[in-house]
Chain A
């Protein structure tokens, strides 16, 4: 017995059905493991839920409480400060590195490998390594600074330096962005540069008026992903502050990232409802910022194909 008579289907219909059949496993995974928990967390965000007892509906209380919670604002401040430092520095440095490693110099492949390697290492081991490097007394960083007559700060143990330390730590892993930039740089048509040279454009002008516009979609891509990653920052801060200060988000809450505070609420204070509300507020913040970046893209992102279509 045939369950489905597909003989009468058009080719397009059959192809669609085949396509859906291939994505079914992913769809099932998405519904069960992503969408389901998301919807559950949305429901929990309107409840008082400590995991052990059944959730109790409390309406918008978690959301109103959130805006009166000084630690919510502190964690948001830390996250925004971190984003303001790490996002531009990461984007600019990785771009500069990609431009350098796009030059035709001997051993360039080895350099590319060296710079890319840290980005594929486990963030846990890299963080632990940096914890040792940043050690105020025996760390290599301070020892090097001492050789040039500078008394290094306490880095991760100093409330004023802990966050910049995490930014510096993050710069070590810019290889991922660098590789994407590198791929973009290599797809910029050579004839544009040749034509510019014929027109007498200096190297800075070629960079400013060819490389940057042609790379703007790649910059945009890295910016969006970087923005989301920055607001989801967790593991490194959790490990570094726990290992150095025995106080998650320490010293004195200087690295209390939004996600760390969310985690504290969920798994230390057992307030899953409150933590779920935090998660949804974070989702909305990221959504708004991403939308803002998308909106601004028409002003500074150059799509060659788009212009051709318009003309």
Chain B
């Protein structure tokens, strides 16, 4: 008996010693959140719940979400990278974030090849958005297709036909959008923008807005050779003053300053000053946006909302710009293999719907499309979500957020050009884009001159 008791005691002792050691052996994977979505107060507990779920089901890896406010996320990540304290995963990252930190990411190709990882379930475009000639930055998590959201009450009040929701309807063009938008643009006296009595100095309702996009996003729809990219395929020649971009920018310029159905920069400031998103402000009839708007802004509106596809452009093409998210592993991170395991888990068919419901993206896996659609439809029962899903087939490639040399300088130069139009400093799109193109060429030349 004593002998047995001794053995039991010994076993207990071993367990007592071994248990904490085993617990300590869990490898920590820190997920840095803040460069894109994921920092809204209602998203934080959901991510914490996700971490608990992972940690409860894994013995060797422990995950922790490091949620950093957007405004300090860039400096914090740079400090962590520079200080040799890189997080194991960063995300959700948009295409633009990947481009801005392009040299920081690890290539996941070796992991994919070692496991012969099956990527066939992912939508092909989502794989392309993460793949560059020299690296694959991460498994696709989600897509954010784009469309027009419109205020049904405003259409009813003005007696204007709703935009069609059928992708086969070729009458839905940018010109048709302008026609309807002008009828929906009203001054304080109730005159619309087509009437001679219309007072452009006193507008209270605008027909159309694409305010939450940058210059490349605004111009990607017009069918330029580079679509959303302002350079040639080899990135050596600036192509910002293409015929299509000039046409598109002039369309926006005239929309602000001649036809008045798009709020100019100053008016946009007024609209957003209340803290409301453009459509939510009740001053915009049609707003071009992405699925992330559904989660972030489309809440408890006092009016009905409809959804319509991206219109056809002047060349008869439909280009619906897209955003995409993934998680990436920094090149200098420790525990890359564990990070890869977490990346796989987050994008697995079992988890991806929950993860995408947190971040508002359409899951990049085709096999879960129905599950996600059902969950989303429950939240937005009156929206025809087919319009959103169908938009994936018309995405912009090259994407308007994709990498170009000196990504930040190039985009800032383009956004400055858009600012000239929006502020009315220069409303001639050709003049603006010719000058911009010269600046971009200089940036590209300097970049290539530095390359070995």
Contact = CB atoms under 8 A, between A and B. Distances in A.
Check if A and B associate: yes
12 contacts: A51-B78, A52-B103, A132-B273, A135-B270, A136-B267, A138-B273, A154-B265, A244-B269, A245-B265, A245-B419, A247-B412, A267-B78
B230 to A, nearest CB: 17
B134 interface: no
Interface stretch (A104-112, A173-181, A248-256): A248-256
Given A135-B273, A136-B270, A269 B409 contact: yes
Contact of A252 (B104, B274, B406, B423): B423
Interface in A157-185: 157-159
Given A52-B81, A245-B265, 19 more contacts: A48-B450, A51-B81, A52-B104, A136-B269, A137-B270, A154-B266, A157-B265, A157-B269, A244-B269, A250-B416, A251-B419, A252-B420, A252-B423, A252-B425, A253-B416, A267-B74, A268-B74, A269-B408, A270-B100
B448 to A, nearest CB: 15
A262 interface: no
A53 B103 contact: yes
B74 A138 contact: no
Interface of A: 48, 50-53, 131-132, 135-139, 154, 156-159, 244-245, 247, 250-253, 264, 267-270
Given A136-B269, A138-B274, A157-B265, A252 B409 contact: no
B120 interface: no
Contact of B406 (A156, A250, A267, A269): A269
B265 A251 contact: yes
Closest 4 CB pairs of A and B: A137-B270, A154-B266, A157-B269, A135-B273
Interface of B: 74-75, 78, 81-82, 100-101, 103-104, 265-271, 273-274, 331-332, 406, 408-409, 412, 415-416, 419-420, 422-423, 425, 450
Contacts of A51: 78, 81-82
Contact of B415 (A135, A159, A247): A247
Contacts of B332: 52
Given A51-B78, A269-B406, A138 B419 contact: no
Contacts of B415: 247
A212 B215 CA distance: 54
Given A51-B82, A137-B273, A253-B416, A267 B265 contact: no
Contacts of A251: 265, 419, 422-423
Contacts of A154: 265-266, 269
Contacts of B104: 52
Nearest to B71: A242
A246 to B, nearest CB: 8
Contacts of B412: 247, 264, 268
A152 to B, nearest CB: 11
Contacts of A135: 269-270, 273
Contacts of A244: 269
A253 B413 CA distance: 10
B99 to A, nearest CB: 12
A159 B416 CA distance: 12
A159 B423 CA distance: 7
Contacts of B408: 264, 268-270
Contacts of A269: 406, 408-409
Nearest to B446: A65
B78 A158 contact: no
Nearest to B413: A71
From B78, B104, B412, name the one whose CB has the most chain A CB atoms within 10 angstroms. Answer: B412
B172 to A, nearest CB: 28
A244 B78 CA distance: 26
Nearest to B78: A51
Contacts of A50: 103
A139 B273 contact: yes
A270 B99 CA distance: 12
B274 A136 contact: no
A138 B270 contact: yes
Given A136-B266, A138-B270, A156-B269, A267 B419 contact: no
A267 B76 CA distance: 10
Contacts of B74: 267-268
A308 to B, nearest CB: 52
B181 to A, nearest CB: 20
